Amino acid sequence: MSTPTKLLTPRNLDILFDICRFRFTTTQQIRALHFEHLEPDSEAPRMLLYRLCKAGFITKTQTYAQSKHTVDGLTVTKPRPVWYLSRKCRRSLKRQLQHLGRITEYDRFEAHQPPSESLSDQNLPHEIGLTYILMSFEEHAAHSHDITDLWWLRTSPRHPLTSVTVATNATINPDALLFFRKRKAGKTYPYFFYIEYERGRATAKQYLRDKLEPYAEYFRASKENASRMQKPFAEVAATCNERYDLRLAHPEKLLFRVLTVTSEHKHANRLLQMAANVRNPKVFLFADLAGCRANPFRPIWKQHSPSGTQITTLP
């Protein structure tokens, strides 16, 4: 057998699939997903990823953002590998599985769009942070007795399902969609969210103009003029329900909520203050990445209310 063929074990296919569905992953993220049983300094995850890359199944790029290390008293910049499945890699994987008579094992890859390969080094940390957010929701939902049927769709930087221009000529492009059911008092309720990850590159006033106000206008128009606008929220929810089998009897009754996760705690507070300036600020919830990674289902979400800041859980 050739080396590429030997690499296509069930475990390695699961790793490739996670890289595919998350779009951009670091070695540390793959370690957390598949190699928790190894010692923290084990080189096995890194070596396997390099072998998969050499075989043509994944592509490596690098980001220098937030990768400074102190060596002998000097601060040096060390690149951090980022892994993804390019279109060329997907074709190579499909060809090898077809050669092995295992083409049906590629079916699950088809449901996920290949990532944009034109991202700059400045945008890669945004994508990596979003991967951490989605990983955290999955991990903690899997260990929860109350959260079921968690589903997400990565929609950054632009997705035909969610990209829409509102009356103010601003365009909404959420980073991801999130859905789950939660058991409360013996009943199960569905919840649906738009997710935004904000690294602090925009000021609070810019975020108000570019994100909060367009979302507020989208929410207003979805309620009041749905028949006259493109992609109202009820239509997006209904499309997701049909396309991804969310099993919702009435998707049009879902509440509209936007989760904003920030890279720093203080930036979440600044954006929360800006939310007070828009109509229906209750649709916006804010948390920092550290809190989200610790457990996004705990009371970490800040929300503006008439009486001031409210700290709540989801939903």
Q: What is the mean pLDDT of residues 261-284?
A: 93
Question: Which residues, including other chains, have CB under 8 Å from residue 164's CB and lie 6 or more apart?
Answer: 171, 172, 218, 229, 230, 231
Q: What is the mean pLDDT of residues 286-314?
A: 93
pLDDT confidence tier of residue 76, bands split at 50, 70 and 90:
low
Closest by CA to 197, choosing from 157, 152, 234, is 157
For residue 62, the domain's CATH number is 1.10.10.10
In this structure, what token pair is assigned to residue 270? 């600044």
pLDDT confidence tier of residue 47, bands split at 50, 70 and 90:
very high
151: in domain:
yes
User: Residue 111 has what pLDDT?
Assistant: 87
Q: What is the mean pLDDT of residues 95-116?
A: 92
128 with 106, same domain? no
53: in domain:
yes
Question: Looking at the predicted structure, is the pLDDT value of residue 171 above 50?
Answer: yes
Where does a domain end: 110, 145, 176? 110
Task: Work out the percent of the chain whose per-residue pLDDT is above 90.
Answer: 74
User: Residue 315 has what pLDDT?
Assistant: 80
115: in domain:
no
User: Residue 194 has what pLDDT?
Assistant: 97
pLDDT confidence tier of residue 283, bands split at 50, 70 and 90:
very high
104 with 130, same domain? no
72 with 147, same domain? no
Contact criterion met (CB below 8 Å) for 246 and 149: yes
35 with 143, same domain? no
In this structure, what token pair is assigned to residue 148? 């079921």
In this structure, what token pair is assigned to residue 6? 């030997």
pLDDT confidence tier of residue 177, bands split at 50, 70 and 90:
very high
105 with 146, same domain? no
User: Residue 167 has what pLDDT?
Assistant: 82
117: in domain:
no
Question: Looking at the predicted structure, is the pLDDT value of residue 161 above 80?
Answer: yes
pLDDT confidence tier of residue 68, bands split at 50, 70 and 90:
low
Contact criterion met (CB below 8 Å) for 248 and 241: yes
Separation of alpha carbons 198 and 271, rounded Å = 10
Poorest-pLDDT segment among 10-19, 68-77, 151-160, 268-277:
68-77
Where does a domain end: 71, 87, 110? 110
211: in domain:
yes
9 with 45, same domain? yes
Q: How far is CA 16 from CA 23, 43, 134, 177, in A?
A: 10, 18, 17, 22
Question: Looking at the predicted structure, is the pLDDT value of residue 244 above 90?
Answer: yes
27 with 59, same domain? yes
- Domain of 72 in residue numbering reads as 3-110
pLDDT single digits (tens) 188-227: 999 999 999 999 888 889 999 999 999 999 999 888 877 7
In this structure, what token pair is assigned to residue 267? 């930036």
Separation of alpha carbons 271 and 197, rounded Å = 12
Instruction: Name the residue with higher pLDDT: 51 or 66.
Output: 51
90 with 188, same domain? no
69 with 171, same domain? no
Question: Looking at the predicted structure, is the pLDDT value of residue 106 above 50?
Answer: yes
116: in domain:
no
172 with 280, same domain? yes
261 with 129, same domain? yes
Where does a domain end: 110, 133, 162? 110
37: in domain:
yes
168 with 281, same domain? yes
What's the whole-number average pLDDT of the chain?
91
**Count of domains forming the chain:** 2
H or E element that contains 51: helix 44-54
User: Residue 196 has what pLDDT?
Assistant: 97
119: in domain:
no
Separation of alpha carbons 197 and 156, rounded Å = 10
In this structure, what token pair is assigned to residue 30? 């793959």
One-character DSSP codes across 192-245:
EEEEEEE-S-S-HHHHIIIIIHHHHHHHHHHHH-GGGSSS-HHHHHHHHHHHTT
